[in-house]
Amino acid sequence: MTLEIQTEHDLSGFNTLRLPCVAARYVAPTDPGVLTSAIALARRNDWPVLVLGGGSNLILGERLDGLVIQPAFQRWQLEPIRKGRVKLTVEAGMNWHRLVMAMAEQDLWGLENLALIPGHCGAAPIQNIGAYGVELSDILDAVHGVDLQEGCEVVFSRDECAFGYRDSIFKHAMEGRVAITHLELSLSTQAQPKLEYGDLARRVGNEPTPLEIANTVIATRQEKLPDPAVLPNAGSFFKNPVVNAAKADRLLSKYPDMPHFPQSPGEIKLAAGWLIDQCGLKGYRKGAFGVHEKQALVLVHRGGGSAQELMVFADGIARDVLERFGVVLEKEPRAIGLHPT
């Protein structure tokens, strides 16, 4: 395998918001060995490195200097580890949804609630992706990668990943430090449906298979969420905020129908989409960006906008929520290559 660096590479089609972006240098290694060579080349030339997955949870600036690496290796394998459990090893470039469906078709349990989440497997631990009552951290055993500063292989156990709600060590102490190469996941051969979230239980009926649950999740998501290939978006743009119980009680006394979900003792998670909707912003549009008319948590790009314009638009929404509810909204996508305005 040879290392082929492309220059002035257009990334507008490599991020689901379809924001204009050019990479000074770009490589899509099809083998982990080529990835290691690319990292070594960047270290020798003091190039900053951005590891790009499916571009589904990013806000990209107009130009990225250094080297953008997008792993394209996507093999996976299964290995029995003990009675009722199977070890799944999957490489970083594998499409997440394709993996979910492949496992569901084999009647393996654990991934089915995470169907139709866009992006690649290598990016999944960064965000600790989650949906319908399941998070990646529920089934992940280890993350393997290459240290971008040292060039050596590194392994993080589930505990070492410091997973939280849409959070991990890869957004903090190890941010920009690791090129993830593959994941180790633990799946079950025995029925373990998780149907507590929303109306999944009503929709799937009795004794569903993993494939039936995955297909139900797909149908539910498609009813509410726009397809990024049709209407560019980054999925949920804001995290669901977590507030203390006292603040939640004050808000519930004024808004008794407000969705709320108990978390750790003394903390309550609120629904960011509901807060935005209550501000009358569902369907709101300004310039190239808008709030989706079916799901207020999703911001969409109608075309011709920039990352800076998107940030201004999003900040305005967060400001309206803060003024009405006293709740701070935090952006979910990572912003990369943006310059302060």
Beta-strand relationship, 67-69 and 22-27: parallel
Active site residue 236: yes
Contact 332, 56 (CB under 8 A): no
| Active-site hit among 56, 137, 168, 236 | 236
Compute the distance between CA of residue 24 and CA of residue 137 in angstroms, rounded to an integer: 34
Radius of gyration, CA atoms only, the chain:
20
Kindly report the CA angle at 335 between 330 and 339, in degrees rounded to 5? 115
Measured in degrees and rounded to the nearest 5, phi and psi for residue 276 equal: -65, -40
- Select from 13, 66, 75, 68 the least CA-distant residue to 229: 13
Query: For residues 114 and 137, what is the distance between their CA atoms, to the nearest angstrom?
Result: 12
SS3 category, 158: coil
Among the listed residues 43, 309, 332, 334, the single catalytic one is 332
The number of beta carbons lying within 10 Å of the beta carbon of residue 20 is 16
75 belongs to the catalytic site: no
Selected catalytic residue, list 166, 168, 184, 306: 166
Show Cβ contacts of residue 272 under 8 Å, excluding neighbours closer than 6 positions: 236, 238, 239, 240, 241, 297, 321, 329
Length of the chain as a residue count: 341
> Structure tokens of 279?
């501000």
Residue 332 bears catalytic tag: yes
Distance CA 86, CA 81 (A): 5
Q: Which residues of 64-88 are buried (b: 16+ CB within 10 A; e: fewer)?
A: bebbbbbbbbbebebeeeeeeebbb
| Catalytically active residues, by annotation | 166, 236, 332
